[in-house]
Amino acid sequence: MAEFSARDRLRLLAGGSAMFLAGCGGSNPPVNSGSLLGSGDGSGTGTGTGTGTGTGTGTGTNTGGSTSPAALTTGLLRDHYRNNFQIGTALSNQRIAANDLSAQIAADQFGSITPEWELKPEVIQPTPGVFNFSEADRVVDWALANGQTVRGHALVWHESTPDHFLQGSREDIRLRLEDYVSTVVDYFRGRVAVWDVVNEVTSADVYRGSDGVGPDRQEDWFNAVGNADYIDWAFRAARAADPNALLFISEYDTETQLKRDWLIQILRRLSARGVPVDGVGHQFHFFIDTDPAQALAAIDAVDNEFLGLINHATEIDVSFYRDPGTCWQTGTNCLADLGPNAPADMLAQQAQLMRSFFDGMVLRSSVESVSFWGVRDSDSWLNTSPVERFNFPLLFDRDGEPKSAFHAITDPNYVI
Ligand code: 9MR
């Protein structure tokens, strides 16, 4: 859906205080941002210890090799929240293939894996009627071999919808979608525990300076079907294919009032129709100055509907740049690159944000899983979106060392 991805990049209000998720286009594997930001691949100049087998002279990145990060207590992060919720991360085959630090840390510290790209329709069914599970099998089986839970992401996402999904009549589209969802969910039955059945189906009009067109995203799927019934079809097909899988609706920016109001309207409608929704995935792509209370308010808003829904945080990261809208729209007026070394005060701000957020999440019993969108800073899509630039969104630095944010959420005595 090239046309759609481009249009969808224009979602930010002028002045841009709200978040927009551009994605990285409809057909790209996860961006190995580390390799874009440094020439090294392996031992580099990082502070990691161990026996690196990589080569090169990285500028603070360490994208490959088998260098180990400083010793961390095995499972420290995962176990710290054992009585509250699962801790997860996105991971892609690129990381596994290199046997790099991110894969090692993911296996060691996280209990849940979300394939970052491999379970998207553009990967599984780029060609009508032909299913290709090879990419997906690799990361799913890797996670299962590590005893981890797999979050399946995502069965329906406008940014990853091959054109053929939307061709023909409404009935053609329904049958094709049901066949796709049934086949994929059945294939992974017993292996994928949770599905993001639909992703980002709430209206994005708030980012275009209009607040009158919600709650549904009235774009490609909606236009082809004539309304938002495709959401119902996808959930019902998923439930029928695997009654034991948890089925989620996933959305970004639920920490903003209008977006979450629209999402709640959709949830009410689905509930009234008996559509089998088990939970809400809040992506939580934060900025360095995001108020964590707003994220917690999103959890509370779902709880306050008394629909019995589970909450997951699904794609946590913290961008160090709050750009004006023009940066996302046209790549202009973006904040200057901070360079390879994160400012100490911003690292502390990130740590405080994460601590406040986690302190609130543990108090909310409907939260059953909390996932980051990558392991090391160099893994993140935010190094290339909206422009190529060093970003520091995650819990581990480019060398695989735990950052202040990691200590802040695993050690109550850690002084930020
Ligand atoms: O981080 C993902 C990036 O590597 C992929 O190229 C891109 C397109 O498949 O998707 C990114 O992940 C997105 C996620 O699937 C949905 N929410 C927004 C994420 C960042 O764009």
Using one digit for the tens of pLDDT, what is the confidence trace for 280-304?
Answer: 999 999 999 999 999 999 999 999 9
Q: How far is the CA of 24 from the centre of ligand 1 (A)?
A: 6
| Residue 68 pLDDT grade (very low, low, confident, very high; cuts 50, 70, 90) | low
CATH of domain 8-410: 3.20.20.80
Q: Is the pLDDT of residue 334 over 90?
A: yes
Please tell me the least confidently modeled range out of 23-27, 242-246, 281-285, 320-324: 23-27
Atom of ligand 1 nearest to the CA of 285: 18
Q: Specify the range with the lowest mean pLDDT, choosing from 193-202, 205-214, 357-366.
A: 205-214
Indicate the top mutation candidate among 159, 207, 375 to test ligand 1's pocket, ranked by most ligand atoms within 8 A of CB. 159
Residue 291 buriedness (CB in 10 A; 0-12 / 13-18 / 19+): middle
- Given ligand 1 and candidates 24, 195, 254, which is best to mutate, with the most ligand atoms within 8 Å of its CB? 24
Helix axes 292-303 and 257-272, enclosed angle (nearest 10) = 20
Rounded alpha-carbon distances, angstroms, from residue 262 to 200, 207, 215, 285? 12, 13, 4, 18
* Rounded mean pLDDT, 222-238: 98
pLDDT at 40 over 60: no
The C-alpha atoms of residue 3 and residue 335 are separated, in whole angstroms, by: 27
Q: Collapse the DSSP code of 282 into the 3-class scheme (helix H, G, I; strand E, B; otherwise coil) and give the result.
A: strand
Residue type, 24: C
User: Taking a C-beta distance cutoff of 8 angstroms, is the pair 371, 88 a contact?
Assistant: yes
Question: Is the predicted pLDDT of residue 320 greater than 50, yes or no?
Answer: yes
pTM, entire model: 0.86
Residue nearest to atom 3 of ligand 1 (CA): 30
Q: Which residues line ligand 1 (CB under 6 A)?
A: 21, 23-24, 28, 30-31, 116-117, 120, 160, 199, 283, 315, 381
Best probe residue, ligand 1, of 9, 11, 91, 117 (max atoms within 8 Å of C-beta): 117
Q: Mind listing the pLDDT tens digit for each residue in 95-133?
A: 997 778 999 999 999 999 999 999 999 999 999 999 999
Residues 6+ apart with CB under 8 A from 240: 182
Q: Considering 178, 200, 251, 401, which one is annotated as catalytic?
A: 200
- In the annotation, is 200 catalytic? yes
Collapsed DSSP state (helix, strand, coil) of residue 310: strand
In the chain, % of residues over pLDDT 70: 82
Long-range contacts of 269-273 (CB under 8 A, 24+ apart): 270/231, 270/232, 270/235, 271/305, 271/307, 273/232
Residue 10: band (very low, low, confident or very high) from pLDDT cuts 50, 70, 90: very low
Question: Measured in angstroms, how far is the CA atom of residue 272 from the centroid of ligand 1?
Answer: 31
Residue 370 pLDDT more than 80? yes
**Ligand 1 center–CA 48 separation, angstroms:** 28
Q: In angstroms, what CA-CA distances link 307 with 268, 277, 280?
A: 8, 10, 11
Residue bearing the bigger pLDDT, 187 or 214: 187
Beta bridge partners of 151: 194
Dihedral pair phi/psi, residue 127, rounded to 5°: -110, 135
Q: What is the DSSP string of 134-158?
A: HHHHHHHHHHHHTT-EEEEEEEEEG
- Alpha carbon 386 to its chain centroid, in Å, reads 16
36: how many CB neighbours lie within 10 A of its CB?
Answer: 16
Q: Which atom of ligand 1 is nearest to the CA of 31?
A: 4
- Lowest-confidence pick of 3-7, 68-72, 169-173, 278-282: 3-7
Model confidence at 45, pLDDT cuts 50, 70, 90, reads very low
Contact present, 103 and 96 (Cβ < 8 Å): yes
